[in-house]
């Protein structure tokens, strides 16, 4: 299956019929999720209405990390099996991940001021998230640093794999060290510590973010494939001095 | 050996070394990464003279019940971690979440075994529930949280 879809043309044919419905799903889930989280979910016993920031903060944070994991796995495939399509996938996911990591920090900051009493602290969770954001910047920078884009793929892939060590640090920072940030509420040994009425909108938002990420990355993949074709044509004509 | 499996082995070694070195770095920097000390930590450090009293530090714990004393804008209270406690003196605005048995983090210096704080931040825990549920749990005596 993976081998079959690794061919760009077959991949484009495969996604054509489902692409639109993925977009519709992402819109529906996020629409319903936002409605539930803003208007139809209870206030928290401690945080009151401020808890509603969670419904966007958590999806941003999860997908910022998850997209980075995808990029580094794709980079491993690229480095070892030299598959050009893995590189395209990694490049296509990076801008979205960067935006998610920035928005994680911004929404967290807006949440931190009313609850903690500060916009920012240098605790382990917040700092490791900032480092993830910097890794995204570095990945995008390096992968586009050469006139022939493909020359940046290998160094960028190595960087992506180096950054992978940051992912468990982000996840477990709240358990390993004293932090101002709260410990995990959802993925923990004794099950979620979020009331069901509040968990439901969050899960719907997470599904919406999943579809949205796939939808946007598919668009990016198509753009990058077209750009690659265009660059190879230009190279054939000798218009680019490299 | 095929170049493919060679690359795989190199990558595997690279990742192991990277993981190991990260672990060692984090381990040795533990004291700097920890955002705050608990009252137990801090009292141990004072006893063993491990701490520079002229430096600002952060301590964190739960606000002890019936220990809050207000005198105008001046406020004093004890924070504890279940084992040890320390007296905190503060002169400023408290965060909304400040109350008995709430987790807080204070920045300041130790003076005469008291902690004189210049900034107080509130910590909220990982439990999320509507007010009715928390009220019901408290009524039924099934409340597991530290907050009253």
Residues of A in contact with B135 (CB under 8 A): 45
CB contact under 8 Å between B26 and A169, yes or no, is yes
SS3 letters across chain A: CHHHHCCHHHHHHHHHHHHHHHHHHHHHHHHHHHHHHHHCCCCECCCEHHHHHHHHHHHHHHHHHHHHHHHHHHHHHHHHHCCHHHHHHHHHHHHHHHHHHHHHHHHHHHHHHHHCCCCCCCCHHHHHHHHHHHHHHHHHHHHCCCCCHHHHHHHHHHHHHHHCCHHHHHHHHHHHCCCCCCCCCCCCCCCCCECHHHHHHHHHHHHHHHHHHHHHHHHHHHHHHHHHHHHHHHHHHCCCCC
CA distance A112 to A117: 6
Q: Based on the structure, what is the number of domains in chain A?
A: 1
pLDDT tens profile A97-113: 999 999 999 999 999 99
CB A132 within 8 A of CB A99: no
Domain region containing A169: 22-41+49-237
Does residue B146 carry a pLDDT above 70?
no
DSSP string, B26-71: HHHTHHHH---B-HHHHHHHHHTT-S-TTS-EEEEEEEPTT--EEE
- Residue A204 maps to a domain: yes
CA distance B38 to B43: 9
- Residue A183 maps to a domain: yes
- B residues 101..140 contacting A (CB < 8 A): 105, 119-135
pLDDT tens profile B40-97: 888 888 888 777 778 888 999 999 888 888 887 789 999 988 888 899 999 888 888 8
pLDDT value for B140: 77
Please indicate if any CB of chain B lies within 8 Å of the CB of A119. Answer: no
CB B69 within 8 A of CB B83: no
pLDDT tens profile B3-45: 888 899 999 999 999 999 999 999 888 878 888 888 888 888 8
Backbone phi and psi for residue B110, each to the nearest 5 degrees, phi listed first: -90, 125
CB A126 within 8 A of CB A75: no
CB B99 within 8 A of CB A47: no
- Residue A17 maps to a domain: no
Mean pLDDT of A173-185: 90
Write down the domain spans for chain B. Answer: 1-33, 34-123
| Whether complex ipTM tops 0.85 | no
Reduced to 3 states, what is the DSSP secondary structure of residue B97?
A: coil
pTM above 0.80, yes or no: yes
Count chain A–chain B contacts defined by CB atoms under 8 A.
110
Selected for mutation to probe chain B from A36, A37, A45 (highest B CB count within 10 Å) is A45
Residues in Cβ contact with A165 at an 8 Å cutoff, skipping those fewer than 6 apart? B18, B19, B22
Selected for mutation to probe chain A from B39, B40, B122, B128 (highest A CB count within 10 Å) is B128
Q: Does the structural domain B34-123 have CATH classification 3.40.50.1820?
A: no
pLDDT value for A23: 95
């Amino acid at each position: 299956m993976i081998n079959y879809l690794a061919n760009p043309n077959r991949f484009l044919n495969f996604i054509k019929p489902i692409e639109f419905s993925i977009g519709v799903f992402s819109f529906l889930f996020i629409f319903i999720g936002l409605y539930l989280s803003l208007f139809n979910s209870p206030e928290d016993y401690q945080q009151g209405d401020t808890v509603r920031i969670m419904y966007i903060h958590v999806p941003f944070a999860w997908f910022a990390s998850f997209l980075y994991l995808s990029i580094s796995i794709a980079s491993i495939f690229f480095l070892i099996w030299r598959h050009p399509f893995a590189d395209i996938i990694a490049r296509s996911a990076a801008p979205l991940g960067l935006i998610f990591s920035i928005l994680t920090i911004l929404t967290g900051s807006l949440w931190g001021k009313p609850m903690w009493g500060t916009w920012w602290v240098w605790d382990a969770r917040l700092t490791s998230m900032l480092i993830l954001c910097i890794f995204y910047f570095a990945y995008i920078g390096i992968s586009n640093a050469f006139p022939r884009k493909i020359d940046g793929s290998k160094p960028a892939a190595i960087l992506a794999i180096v950054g992978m060590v940051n992912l468990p640090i982000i996840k477990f920072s709240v358990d390993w060290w004293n932090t101002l940030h709260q410990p995990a509420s959802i993925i923990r040994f004794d099950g979620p510590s979020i009331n069901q009425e509040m968990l439901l909108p969050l899960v719907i938002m997470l599904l919406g973010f999943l579809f949205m990420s796939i939808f946007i990355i598919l668009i990016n993949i198509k753009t990058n494939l077209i750009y690659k074709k265009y660059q190879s044509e230009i190279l054939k004509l000798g218009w680019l001095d490299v | 050996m095929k170049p493919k499996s060679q690359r795989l082995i190199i990558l595997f070694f690279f990742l192991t070394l990277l993981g190991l070195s990260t672990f060692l770095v984090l381990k040795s920097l533990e004291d700097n990464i920890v955002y705050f000390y608990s009252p137990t930590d801090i009292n141990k450090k004072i006893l063993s003279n491990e701490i520079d009293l002229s430096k600002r530090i952060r301590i964190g714990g739960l606000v002890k019940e019936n220990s809050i004393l207000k005198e105008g804008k001046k406020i004093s209270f004890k924070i504890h971690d279940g084992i040890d406690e320390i007296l905190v003196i503060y002169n400023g605005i408290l965060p909304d979440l400040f109350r008995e048995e709430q987790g807080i983090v204070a920045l300041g210096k130790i003076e005469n075994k008291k902690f004189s704080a210049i900034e107080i931040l509130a910590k909220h825990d990982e439990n999320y529930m509507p007010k009715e549920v928390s009220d019901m749990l408290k009524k039924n005596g099934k409340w597991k949280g530290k907050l009253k």
